[in-house]
């Protein structure tokens, strides 16, 4: 009986580790070797992905359904909004995005959001300063410079990830104290 229980616990642990390792941003990627407009935006998106990964790691159904007031979004609704913002970022850098609302589980939504951040970061890392200056994004029929993506969807994602961290603390599942955001490392 004890051996069977031990095997189940080990299998669950290995499954969780394998899932974590297959998702982008379980660890912070190395910094680029030079500064440019593209690498700075890429690094900003990497920071966003790293924060999102750890803000959503280990969320339980009770965390996902938590909302601080009747007028507020639940954590899951907030994560769906972050996903929609990630699709705006993908579109702004000229990449196809998956249609919204196709994800049936939190795990699928989480993976798709992390992959969007990773794709956008990879694309931006190769942009020169002049590429970024030419980049325009469509907003309600208006062509706007990439500045609006920084102060709009990218900053909005950071804002909402902070909400998820606050909500999970309020539902009794605080953010891991092993995550060192400033250094971008996981402490032992």
Q: Which two tokens stand for residue 58?
A: 């280990």
Residues 25, 46 contacting (CB under 8 angstroms): yes
For residue 137, the model assigns a pLDDT of: 87
| Res. 12: pLDDT tops 70 | no
Looking at residue 95, its pLDDT comes to: 72
Contacts of 74 (CB under 8 A, 6+ apart): 64, 65, 66, 67
The predicted-structure confidence for 49-62, as pLDDT tens digits, reads as follows 999 999 999 999 99
CA distance 52 to 45: 10
82, 52 Cβ separation under 8 angstroms: yes
Question: In this structure, what DSSP letter does residue 6 have?
Answer: H
Q: State pTM to two decimals.
A: 0.86
What number of other Cβ atoms are within 10 A of residue 76's Cβ? Answer: 19
For 16, 22, 175, the CA distances from 85, given in Å and listed in that order, are 27, 23, 22
Mean pLDDT comparison of 88-92, 138-142, 154-158, highest-scoring range: 154-158
Distances (CA, A) of 140 to 26, 95, 120, 135: 35, 19, 21, 16
The percent of residues above 70 in pLDDT, for the chain, comes to 86
């Amino acid at each position: 009986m004890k051996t069977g229980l031990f095997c189940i616990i080990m299998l669950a642990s290995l499954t969780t580790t394998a899932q974590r390792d297959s998702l982008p941003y379980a660890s912070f990627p190395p910094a680029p070797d030079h500064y440019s407009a593209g690498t700075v935006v890429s690094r900003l998106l990497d920071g966003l992905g790293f924060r999102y990964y750890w803000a959503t790691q280990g969320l339980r159904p009770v965390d996902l359904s938590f909302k601080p007031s009747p007028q507020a979004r639940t954590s899951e609704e907030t994560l769906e909004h972050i996903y929609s913002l990630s699709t705006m970022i993908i579109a702004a850098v000229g990449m196809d995005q998956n249609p919204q609302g196709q994800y049936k589980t939190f795990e699928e939504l989480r993976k798709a959001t992390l992959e969007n951040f990773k794709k956008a970061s990879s694309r931006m890392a190769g942009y020169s300063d002049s590429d970024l200056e030419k980049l325009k994004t469509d907003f309600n029929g208006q062509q706007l410079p990439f500045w609006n993506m920084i102060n709009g969807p990218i900053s909005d994602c950071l804002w909402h990830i902070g909400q998820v961290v606050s909500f999970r603390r309020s539902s009794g599942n605080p953010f891991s104290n092993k995550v060192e955001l400033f250094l971008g490392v996981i402490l032992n």
